[in-house]
Structures are given as C-alpha cells and as structure tokens.
Amino acid sequence: MTDTRIAVIGTPGKWSTEVLADHLEQRTGFRCVVDMADVVLELETGILRYRDVVLNELDGVIIKKISETYSPAADDRIRMLGSLESSGVRCFSTPEQVGRLINRLEGTSALAAGKVALPATRITESTEAALDVITLFGKAILKPLYSTKARGMEVLNAEDGTETNTGKLNAFKAEHGLFYLQKFVNLGGQDLGMVFLGGEYLCTYARVGDANAWNTTIHSGGKYQAYDASPELIELGRRAQACFDLSFTTVDIALTDEGPVVFEVSAFGGFSGALKGCGIDAAEKLCDHVLKELENNP
C-alpha cells in the first residue's frame, strides 16, 4: 500500500474504467473516477477541479476514456488535461499523444509517415473525386474522422452506380464534411488487436466477426479469441505503436490477401480483449506500470 494518489479519467460505471480504479484503490487506498463533463478549469490559476477534488494536487492520472464518442469536443477535453500536465501532474498517456489519435486523419497520417502498411486511403472534400475513388477501389469504406467501433462507417460499392453513391456521399458530407475513404479489404472473418504496455508487447487477440456484419467489432457482434502472432506481425505492431508515445494501446491489424495492414492505433486501448482473448488482466498490468513509473520518475 502506498500513499500515491492517482485518478482515472473515464466513464463512471463502465467496466474498463471501474476495474482500473479498483486496482488503484487496492494498491493505494485512493479511488477517484473523473468524468470530464464535470471538470472545471480555472484559466487564471490553471487549477482543474472535479467536484471536491483538485486534480492538480494528485500524483498522476490515467486517461482511460476521454468521451463515450469521439468528436471535436474531445479535443477540448484533451486541452484541459494538457493544462493539468503543464502543472506537473503525470498523465498516462500524455494528452498530446492521445490528442493525435482522436482525429482519424491525424492518426493514420502519422502511420503513413512512419511507413506502416495501411489500406489504400484517400482524403477529399470533392464528391466527384470521391466517386472516382470508389470506382478505383471497387469497394470503399467511408469513415468519419471522429468515431470508434466502426460507428458511422459506410461501405460504398462501385457496382451500386453513380446516382446511389452520390446520394450517400452527399448525406455523409452534410453531417461530417470531409470524405475519408479507405479501400475495402477482405478480413477473412477476423482482425487482430495487438496490445502494448509502455511500448512493450503484451499479447494479441483476434476479433472474430458475426457472419452478418462486414466488420469484426464487438459492437457488431464479434467475439474475442486468442491468437499466436508471428515475430514479423509483432514487429509490424511495434512499429505502428512507436509512431506515438502511449502508456497503453491496442494496434488493430488485418490479415489481407496482400499481406497484413494496420487499421489504427487506439488512443486508449481496451482491457476486455486482452482478458477474454488472452487471459491477461491488462488493467492490473497498466496500474503496476504507472505506479512503477511514478516511483522511478516522480
């Protein structure tokens, strides 16, 4: 038991947030789950308050979830936590690095710059250009810049014709603006989640999709299974997560006919896949990692 005071930035009542808070409480005797919707930043003093807790007086915070849904508003919360970090409170992961992954374009641009294998991707505001991309790809996934668990994504097929796809593109543009189009790749019914803690490989699990869904997310009926990743595949995941500096993350990888590709690196990473797929309590390991970091580098 230590007297270290660490809060969890997350969603009160959600399993992944509460299990992390449970482990911290067991080791430190302190428990605080912070809902960013109730945080107040005093700009003139730099103080952040959550109810009766002054966050600036803590030893650290673990950013488990910044928002239930990604949106430009999540960027504002990241900036608030950046103020907390500037006051000397250690953040795991740092707000700057988390912020790079809230917006899908910024995250995948970093992966592309790092020469990480990705599905072919095109970005445009032009409906005409987007139609040309759909024709080029044959089948494309249209993705919002701010979303998780495949929410808001659409599969567009060139065979559906220009009129149909124009209608879908215009409706999407009215809500989201920019077109982020990625070539549809055959997942073979599964994709992989590769887990890293402090930059070190932890495990890999597979998400096996529901036969009726085009994606394999648990949100769409997928199931977790263990997966024995090859050294080459682990190296791909390692290079992807190394484009960022995250305390804990999951790299989403697909095994396609043309070789493995990375879909994204998670801003937060998930505990459920590691536990259900690999039997590893990643929340406990993250807690140990953070306490060790604070002990060695206060």
Distance CA 181, CA 139 (A): 10
Condensed to tens digits (0 to 9), the pLDDT of residues 75-96 reads 899 999 999 999 999 999 999 9
Distance CA 116, CA 108 (A): 9
Mean pLDDT of 151-162: 93
Looking at residue 146, its pLDDT comes to 86
Residue 213: is its pLDDT beyond 60? no
What tokens does 75 get? 């960027």
Looking at residue 53, its pLDDT comes to 97
% helix / strand / coil in the chain, to the nearest 5?
40, 25, 35
Q: Which residue has the higher pLDDT, 170 or 68?
A: 170
Directed axis angle between helix 282-296 and helix 15-28, to 10°? Answer: 50
Looking at residue 148, its pLDDT comes to 73
The whole-angstrom distance between residue 206's C-alpha and the CA centroid of its chain comes to 16
Q: Which residue has the higher pLDDT, 283 or 210?
A: 283
Condensed to tens digits (0 to 9), the pLDDT of residues 241-274 reads 999 999 999 999 999 988 999 999 999 888 999 9
Mean pLDDT of 147-172: 91
Directed axis angle between helix 162-176 and helix 127-137, to 10°? Answer: 120
Distance CA 3, CA 26 (A): 11
**Which among 200, 180, 199, 198 is positioned nearest to 263, based on CA atoms?**
180
Q: In this structure, are residues 285 and 130 in contact, taking their beta carbons and an 8 Å threshold?
A: no
148-154 LR contacts (CB < 8 Å, sep 24+): 148/69, 148/70, 149/217, 149/218, 149/219, 149/220, 150/215, 150/217, 150/219, 150/220, 151/69, 151/219, 152/176, 153/215
Looking at residue 68, its pLDDT comes to 78
What is the reported pTM? 0.90
Q: How confident is the model at residue 214 (pLDDT cuts 50, 70, 90)?
A: very low
Q: What domains are there in the chain, each with its CATH number?
A: 6-92 (3.40.50.20), 121-183 (3.30.1490.20), 186-284 (3.30.470.20)
Condensed to tens digits (0 to 9), the pLDDT of residues 227-244 reads 999 999 999 999 999 999
Condensed to tens digits (0 to 9), the pLDDT of residues 91-102 reads 999 999 999 998
Residue 134: is its pLDDT beyond 90? yes
Residue 210: is its pLDDT beyond 80? no
The residues near 15 (Cβ < 8 Å, ≥ 6 apart) are 271, 272
Residue 73: is its pLDDT beyond 90? no
Looking at residue 270, its pLDDT comes to 85
